[in-house]
Structure 1
Amino acid sequence: MTPPRRDPTAAPPGGATARLRVLLPYLLVLLLFVLGIFALYRLLAPIDIQTVAAQIRATPWHIVLLALMSTFAGYLCLAGYDWSALRHLGKKLPWPVILSGGFLAYAFGNTIGLSAISGGAVRWRLYSGLGLDGYDIAAVSTFTAISFGVATTLLGLGALAVHPSALSSVVPLAPETLRLLALAAIVAVLAPLIWASVTRRRLRIGRFNLAAPKPGILAAQLLISLGDITFSALTLYLFLPGNGPDFLTFVAVFAAATMAGVISHVPGGIGVFETIIIAALPAVGGVHEFAAALLLYRLVYFLVPFALALIALSLFEAWRIFGRKTRSPRLDRIFAAVEPAFRAIQPAAPLLLAVMVFGSGLWMSISALLPPVSDAAEAAEAFFPLAFIEGSALLASALGALLIVVSLGLVRRSLGAFWVTIGAMLAGAVVAVLQQTELSQAATLFLGVAILLPFHGAFHRRSMLTHSPITPGWMAVLLAAILSVGFVLFFAHKSTPYGQELWWQFATDANAPRALRSGLLISLVVGAGSLFLLLRAPRFRPEIPDQRTLATARAIVGSSADPDAGFALTGDKAIMLSDNERAFVMFATSGTSWLSYGGPVGEAAAAEDVAFTFVDTARRAGVRPVFYEIGPAAVPLMLELGMGLHKMGEKAVVNLERFSLDGPDRKKLRTTHARAGRDGLTLELVMPPHDPALLRQLREISDGWLAAKKAREKGFSVGRFDPDWLNLWPLALVRHNGDLVAFANILTAGTGGRCAVDLMRQSDHAPGGTMEYLFTELLLQLKARGYSHMSLGMAPLSGLSPDRSGRIWDRFGSIIYRHGGAFYNFSGLRAFKSKFDPDWVPHYLATPSGLPPLLPLAEAARLIARSPDHRLSLLQNKPAGDDTV
């Protein structure tokens, strides 16, 4: 008895272990955040919020100005990282682009703490458009990361060698022992770098093979890196009390705190950084002075550059909307010079604006919890009626919590979330103006609305807010927000003993009861809103698509420029449609993965939306989202999705406009083609639908070919012999003296004149060289019909460069490519396709992990190897229905 065959699109069971594996990194980061908040609370226990506020107001303006200048110098050094890295690679790019791109990337990345903003996605968009390939961009990222790490280490160790007592309060070692260890570590770091730089040899660190820069570039980069850390430390040092430690002692503490914040992966190192600074510095001044200095440092070094970068990005968007013309030709020239950098960061605008809105909501919420911190605020509270004071505090709390929740919709590019955000920020500004105590908050909210408005076009998704599933990352952020609110609430009112009667006290000077009610409302709004989004988020059940879904997908395929989009119509993959049904992801399940064949297909904005939905839904189901065989055009989107890229090989794409049999380089191909014609081979292109008698002849050829190869039909990434499938496409028929001996079906794109070969099969009595003739003649006939490009398919594992990338996967794949001939003729396949002078286009596997993708590839191989259980013909009588949600 034959056991029942598993539906290739059926979702695997998502067990508790799989879900825990997905949640574990976020739980770890949240735990570190909680520990940092707890430690900070204990360290700040002796201080009062009023004292901190007074200390901030007492900071001289010239100190603030010096800190701003130090911040500006630090960000110039940050932008210098990429300039130095590009010099090391021998790449020359316009300096306005490098400086502006570096400033934007680091201004956003330092505040958010996400490598997707400060690293891969931005650099790929920026530098790929300026002629750099993926390895060059990866080298720039690696160069800057190593430079930062080395500089932070050297500066911290150098300061520790001069002042070994700097960390005596947190390191249980004698000062002289610390000095010796610091000096030894400096030598251990510098000696290999200098040796490799002078001898021009490569430095191997674990699995990485790094080429050290030339001595001049190495010296320049060390100066840039040291300048970065020095100016960053100086910004905070300027705010410290005058009787604090000397600068070198402070630098050692600052370097240790910075590295701890980076390692923790908590956004901005919040909590972790402050804890180490306060714990390590000697108690020469009041703790309130250190707390005020840290708050001012966060404001000046992180929030001011973030705000300036957002304003610049908004002005650029407005300039672009108004036709790239202003009343100032000089301003137009400046925007034109830095346009590549702004265009590179532009796709990340929804996320950046969501961070701004989230921060605004958190600020509004926290402000409602704090007691008056100035005489004017206390006088205003005494002047206004009690009902107004109570009502405005609760309203500000609710609006702030609403902004926190709705920021998730901004990331999803929801138009509804955009307008809700505008309304909530305007309402918050009006409340702040009426209170007459938060005019700076009102001005900031009005500025936030002005920043948002030029990006109206980026929020095009008209789905409901409840159709935006909360990912584990966002859940961790929302929990961190609630914890932050709790921290401020208890810290600001720790002198007020808690009692049940506090909830019912109403008076103009009853700040603690009002804060308790506001904190409860904030928690309820954030918690209830998050739970509502979580419960209402759609679940997708992978199923064989019905006729309606296939018809919708076929319409999208008809407007696509990628012929491989046609594989959505095989019927053996689930199809996830976008909300507006203008894009889709085709995928199947195997093991613990949902594997999408290629990237999303369709209108750009809708394709981006459905890609995010696919990744979120897969993670929600406790499985691994994987994009199989994606081209370079989809790489920036994959980086925005947080996916790791692994090169699978290269696809041979023939440019038909330049293809011909003329010239000395084509002599052998021309001779073989002419001989085949003299031997009686001809090729005919026939359009669908096809004659059933013809399909029966082709069936005999196909069955004989499969029997000779001892193979069976495959699926997922290739077509199969099925009349319904073949009737969708043109057929190339090769005859030998009138007898049909070979055929291939040609996938055609709806636009752009591109096509691809799918099935290629020949009979056992076909003469030698039939397939070479089929390709050659087909290329010539397609060129005559006006096609521009034809894909000959993948050359698996070709083009991998382990020496450049230093990646384990590239090394492993390269070994298989060179020595795996007993299992698959990798090099022979590439050599055959090279006869037709194709362009070799890299294709990738995108997975959530940067580890070698052995398991996803094994699951993809099983998916391709098993013959599809369902045929298009089985779908003819299936009732139509929306299977997408």
Structure 2
Amino acid sequence: MTLTTKPSDSAAAPERSGQKSQLRALLPYLAALLLFGAGIMALYRLLEPVDIQAVAHQIMTTPWHVIGAAMVATLAGYGCLACYDWSALRHIGKRLPPPVALMGGFLAYAFGNTIGLTAVSGAAVRWRVYSGLGLDGYDIAAISTFTSVAFGIAATLVGLTALAVHPTALAGLLPFGPDMVRLMAVLAVLGILGPLIWASVSQRQMKIRRFTLNAPSPANMAAQLLISLGDISLSALTLYLLLPTGSAPDFLTFLAIFAAATMAGIISHVPGGVGVFETVMIAALPAAGGIDKIAAALLLFRLIYYLVPFAAALVLLALFEAWRVVSGRRWENRMGRLFSATEPAFRAVEPLAPLLLAVMVFGSGLWMSLSSLLPPMTEAADAAETFFPLAFIEGSALLTSALGALLIVLSLGLVRRSLGALWLTMLAMLTGAVISLVQNVEPEQATALIVGVLILMPFRRAFHRRSMLTHAALTPGWVVLLLAAILGVGFVMFFSHKSTPYAHELWWQFATDANAPRALRSGLLASLLVGAGSLFLLLRTPRFRACPPTADELAAARTIAMAQGDPAACFALTGDKTILLSDDRRAFVMFGVAGTSWLAYGAPIGEPESAEEVAYTFVDAARRDGVRPVFYQIGPEAVPLMLDLGMTLHKMGEEAVVDLRRFSLEGPSRKRLRTAHARAGRDGLTLELMYPPHDAGLMARLRSISDEWLSLKKSQEKGFSVGRFQRDWLDMWPLAVVRLDGAPVAFANLLQTDRQDCCGVDLMRHSLHAPAGTMEFLFTELLLQMKARGFARFSLGMAPLSGLSPQRSGRLWDRFGSLAYRHGGAFYNFEGLRAFKAKFDPDWVPHYLATPSGLPPLLPLADAARLISRGGERGAEREA
């Protein structure tokens, strides 16, 4: 199906506002890309005198004991990083098992440092770990804030202290003399330490907008200072050990340079600070030691400090997954005991596995693409060029480049849990390993690719989407990453072959030693395949036409809805919403179109895997059509899926759900409800449950009651989130009819599924002549009768805008909603509605509006109001 929706003129202003909002959201990505490009350009100029063969020789001749010492320093540094979380938990007064806290901290930093956006990535890992251990969002935010502030302060203090001792460390980058640099550094150190010590001793608090920061105790601050100093010093030591003797200044001077480069890389938000960190280091270190040696040390540092911990954490996660597959009972060794002690940390990180595996595959593809561009680096590779036929050499270079580009594109599918992308990825990696083994020149690449396949295998259950390879996977982040990869490939190609002057004839030169022409062809092929693959994925994004559901779609939706426990799924059968079914027809999204929004009512309904698939399809199709996807009135169980979709949650209110197992009219707390129920019975009110099909005479009487109620409320029939008074709709459900001396005076239709677990109400209307207390009697009697019929829960519906906590969240929407809740009685009696439902002692379940933007959801709510108000028009059309 295809969808064509054009926003009306009245929606032009909201559309422009939405475009501005999207532009603001893109600015961080554009800034990161520009900084990466600037870093690459600066690196190219700084490395202009460097020969890549010299860099390769320097790396290969680095003594093993130096590499071993650098790895030990890295391991100790990550131990300090893991202690950040232990210290933060002590500061907020939370106690967790040390193995869980330390493993959670290690995983957070091992993955976050490599992926980039460490504060965000680490916070995501911490959320997964600690939310499953009883910590709420504010605790986790406090941990992330504490660790980020501690690292920032420590890096600044280390750098400033080193500058105070050696003010010439950044002489090439600062426009001040040594004496001025020393004075400024000393004053800055005192300006930071003085307030910190004073705040710690006096236990001060500082408010930053909606957050309150409590100063750590002197003991905690001292412990954190030692941890932070160890972290910065050990990470600097890792690089310092790799620098050849004579090419580095003394350690304190180097520490100042390292701290400045680290902060520049973090501020840039480029993944891993690639390009930015190297540029500052090369510019600040003395060139007398040889830029080629510095470049080799920086490359080795990247491999040891970033990729080795990432790979180790990924291997541990894969081993844990394999341990789970064999039920964790056959590994009664040290590894098994490690997993048993740290299981909560690993279980919490598991949902991030597709993203982490995608990063691994992306890196593998980039490595394969780059290897096809580089000239032979060893004597064995040089000899292979003379031993193998020319066709094999040319073909293997092109095939390696193509496989690398394919892995880069397939990594997008892995993020979306595509099963087809998983199998294709494993096939491409095995093919690349075979090519490397046949060439017998890069055994490391073959080994790494085979290990990558072994890492992927235990996660087979995480990849369950059997439809398209991916749906609109090219989010801004991925687009920037692809462009950065292409920039990186171009940098390596031109840097490796800069001694060969460019000429058009290079493209057609074929010879065993024609490395530059071969690199040009391989680079072009890789770039074309990445671009074509990305364009193909964009064009495969599904499009839908919003139209009334067909009989077949309604039948499929009814089967799925009746198997659920939530009666709200039954609103799919009103016929006023488009039904979007998953490919396996085991889940669906019901949505309507209004203004510039596609509004899904509730979360996707059906089997979890299929529901996730159809949710992605809905979001991708809406974005393809240039409108915002919105999920209206979702419950807490759908929050993880909404976060995976990149949506922002805005609290709409709370649903009142009565636990019928504990509901009764007995006890002192029920005295008022018991008295009112008994008085209504004495006044002649009774309630009768009537099951479809319903008598035509009864329906005519209920129609008059409905018309009286609409007239009393000065309203008309609604739609989308409620049903309408229509014979075909009411004939699907039982009716609760309240009679006064035998005559109907009020009614409600009940929504219930085949599971007979929870029951809810839709329409609730009464006549002008119904006595006071009729609706209270209706609900009280309904609760008692549904409890007698074996139902466990009863939904009284939403209390809009209730339960908002602007004091804790500080969000503009919560403040606005709270004001409307307290003072909006002239328009809608929010407080009165909640007070009425509170009589029945319900559990209050939060419900949310999920939107793509963090701005107050005024436009989506306006579109929802427009969609709901159309119910009367459509109802009239259907009745006609």
The residue that corresponds to 2:636 in the other structure is 632
1:618 equivalent among 616, 619, 622 = 622
Which 10-residue stretch deviates more, 746-755 or 342-351?
746-755
1:437 equivalenced with 2:466 (yes/no): no
How far apart are 1:249 and its partner, in Å?
Answer: 3.2
The residue that corresponds to 2:208 in the other structure is 205
Name the CA distance, whole Å, in 1 between partners of 2:319 and 2:11.
46
1:694 equivalent among 675, 695, 698 = 698
How far apart are 1:274 and its partner, in Å?
Answer: 1.8
CA pair 763-504 structure 1, distance change in 2 beyond 3 A: same
TM-superposition CA deviations, 1:3-24 (whole Å, max 9, x none): xx9999x999978957766655
The residue that corresponds to 2:77 in the other structure is 74
1:289 equivalent among 278, 293, 297 = 293
The residue that corresponds to 1:766 in the other structure is 770
Is the 2:157–2:189 contact (alpha carbons within 8 Å) kept by the matching residues of 1? yes
How far apart are 1:512 and its partner, in Å?
Answer: 1.2
Which 10-residue stretch deviates more, 787-796 or 140-149?
140-149
Count of equivalent residues = 871
Name the CA distance, whole Å, in 2 between partners of 1:217 and 1:818.
42
Name the CA distance, whole Å, in 2 between partners of 1:548 and 1:873.
22
Name the CA distance, whole Å, in 1 between partners of 2:505 and 2:146.
60
How far apart are 1:440 and its partner, in Å?
Answer: 0.7
1:703 equivalenced with 2:707 (yes/no): yes
- Map 1:258-277 onto structure 2 (within 5 A): 258-277=262-281
TM-superposition CA deviations, 1:700-747 (whole Å, max 9, x none): 222222222222333333333333333333322222222222222222
Which 10-residue stretch deviates more, 39-48 or 267-276?
267-276
The residue that corresponds to 1:881 in the other structure is none
Name the CA distance, whole Å, in 1 between partners of 2:471 and 2:409.
13
1:538 equivalent among 521, 526, 542 = 542
TM-superposition CA deviations, 1:744-792 (whole Å, max 9, x none): 2222244471233332222222222222222222222222222222222
The residue that corresponds to 1:358 in the other structure is 362
The residue that corresponds to 2:590 in the other structure is 586
How far apart are 1:95 and its partner, in Å?
Answer: 2.5
How far apart are 1:823 and its partner, in Å?
Answer: 3.8
Name the CA distance, whole Å, in 2 between partners of 1:757 and 1:547.
25
Which 10-residue stretch deviates more, 248-257 or 773-782?
248-257
Which 10-residue stretch deviates more, 326-335 or 572-581?
326-335
TM-superposition CA deviations, 1:305-326 (whole Å, max 9, x none): 1111111111122222223332
Is the 1:7–1:869 contact (alpha carbons within 8 Å) kept by the matching residues of 2? no
The residue that corresponds to 1:668 in the other structure is 672
Is the 1:116–1:642 contact (alpha carbons within 8 Å) kept by the matching residues of 2? no
Name the CA distance, whole Å, in 2 between partners of 1:544 and 1:150.
59
The residue that corresponds to 1:29 in the other structure is 32
The residue that corresponds to 1:167 in the other structure is 170
How far apart are 1:441 and its partner, in Å?
Answer: 0.5
Counterpart residue type for residue 464 of structure 2: H
Is the 2:117–2:270 contact (alpha carbons within 8 Å) kept by the matching residues of 1? no
The residue that corresponds to 1:44 in the other structure is 47
1:425 equivalenced with 2:432 (yes/no): no
1:110 equivalent among 91, 110, 113 = 113
TM-superposition CA deviations, 1:484-513 (whole Å, max 9, x none): 211111110001111222222222222112
1:254 equivalent among 244, 254, 258 = 258
CA pair 252-818 structure 1, distance change in 2 beyond 3 A: farther
Which 10-residue stretch deviates more, 114-123 or 821-830?
114-123
Counterpart residue type for residue 36 of structure 1: G
CA pair 7-520 structure 1, distance change in 2 beyond 3 A: closer
Name the CA distance, whole Å, in 2 between partners of 1:680 and 1:738.
8
- Map 1:380-779 onto structure 2 (within 5 A): 380-465=384-469, 469-751=473-755, 753-779=757-783
Which 10-residue stretch deviates more, 443-452 or 413-422?
413-422
TM-superposition CA deviations, 1:790-810 (whole Å, max 9, x none): 222233333333333344443
How far apart are 1:430 and its partner, in Å?
Answer: 0.6
CA pair 666-594 structure 1, distance change in 2 beyond 3 A: same
The residue that corresponds to 1:882 in the other structure is none
- Unaligned ranges ≥5, structure 2: none
Counterpart residue type for residue 72 of structure 2: M
| SS state at 1:323 partner | coil
| SS state at 1:646 partner | strand
TM-superposition CA deviations, 1:145-170 (whole Å, max 9, x none): 33333333343344344444433333
Counterpart residue type for residue 152 of structure 1: A
1:151 equivalent among 143, 154, 158 = 154
How far apart are 1:184 and its partner, in Å?
Answer: 4.8
The residue that corresponds to 2:130 in the other structure is 127
| SS state at 1:513 partner | helix
CA pair 714-237 structure 1, distance change in 2 beyond 3 A: farther
Name the CA distance, whole Å, in 2 between partners of 1:92 and 1:118.
23
How far apart are 1:198 and its partner, in Å?
Answer: 4.4
Is the 2:400–2:432 contact (alpha carbons within 8 Å) kept by the matching residues of 1? yes
| SS state at 2:169 partner | helix
How far apart are 1:178 and its partner, in Å?
Answer: 4.2
Name the CA distance, whole Å, in 1 between partners of 2:489 and 2:414.
22
1:228 equivalenced with 2:236 (yes/no): no
- Unaligned ranges ≥5, structure 1: 877-885
CA pair 446-252 structure 1, distance change in 2 beyond 3 A: same
CA pair 315-836 structure 1, distance change in 2 beyond 3 A: same
| SS state at 2:871 partner | coil
Counterpart residue type for residue 480 of structure 1: A
CA pair 159-402 structure 1, distance change in 2 beyond 3 A: same
The residue that corresponds to 1:879 in the other structure is none
CA pair 737-427 structure 1, distance change in 2 beyond 3 A: same
Which 10-residue stretch deviates more, 718-727 or 13-22?
13-22
Is the 1:14–1:621 contact (alpha carbons within 8 Å) kept by the matching residues of 2? no
How far apart are 1:367 and its partner, in Å?
Answer: 0.5
Q: State the superposition RMSD in angstroms.
A: 3.0
Name the CA distance, whole Å, in 1 between partners of 2:191 and 2:589.
50
Name the CA distance, whole Å, in 2 between partners of 1:762 and 1:801.
34
Is the 2:357–2:414 contact (alpha carbons within 8 Å) kept by the matching residues of 1? yes
Name the CA distance, whole Å, in 2 between partners of 1:108 and 1:615.
27
The residue that corresponds to 2:306 in the other structure is 302
CA pair 687-35 structure 1, distance change in 2 beyond 3 A: farther
Which 10-residue stretch deviates more, 441-450 or 273-282?
273-282
Name the CA distance, whole Å, in 1 between partners of 2:156 and 2:870.
53
The residue that corresponds to 1:883 in the other structure is none
Name the CA distance, whole Å, in 2 between partners of 1:89 and 1:251.
31
| SS state at 2:457 partner | helix
The residue that corresponds to 1:804 in the other structure is 808
TM-superposition CA deviations, 1:333-385 (whole Å, max 9, x none): 33233222222221222222121111111101101111111222212222222
Which 10-residue stretch deviates more, 841-850 or 11-20?
11-20
Which 10-residue stretch deviates more, 78-87 or 105-114?
78-87
Is the 1:70–1:232 contact (alpha carbons within 8 Å) kept by the matching residues of 2? yes
Counterpart residue type for residue 401 of structure 1: A
Which 10-residue stretch deviates more, 811-820 or 606-615?
811-820
CA pair 773-396 structure 1, distance change in 2 beyond 3 A: same
1:817 equivalent among 821, 841, 857 = 821
Counterpart residue type for residue 549 of structure 2: P
Name the CA distance, whole Å, in 1 between partners of 2:176 and 2:824.
55
The residue that corresponds to 1:849 in the other structure is 853
Is the 2:722–2:763 contact (alpha carbons within 8 Å) kept by the matching residues of 1? yes
Counterpart residue type for residue 103 of structure 2: S
Is the 2:472–2:620 contact (alpha carbons within 8 Å) kept by the matching residues of 1? no
How far apart are 1:450 and its partner, in Å?
Answer: 0.8
Name the CA distance, whole Å, in 2 between partners of 1:101 and 1:756.
42
| SS state at 1:507 partner | coil
CA pair 284-6 structure 1, distance change in 2 beyond 3 A: closer
Name the CA distance, whole Å, in 2 between partners of 1:27 and 1:471.
13
Percent pairwise identity: 69
Counterpart residue type for residue 227 of structure 2: I
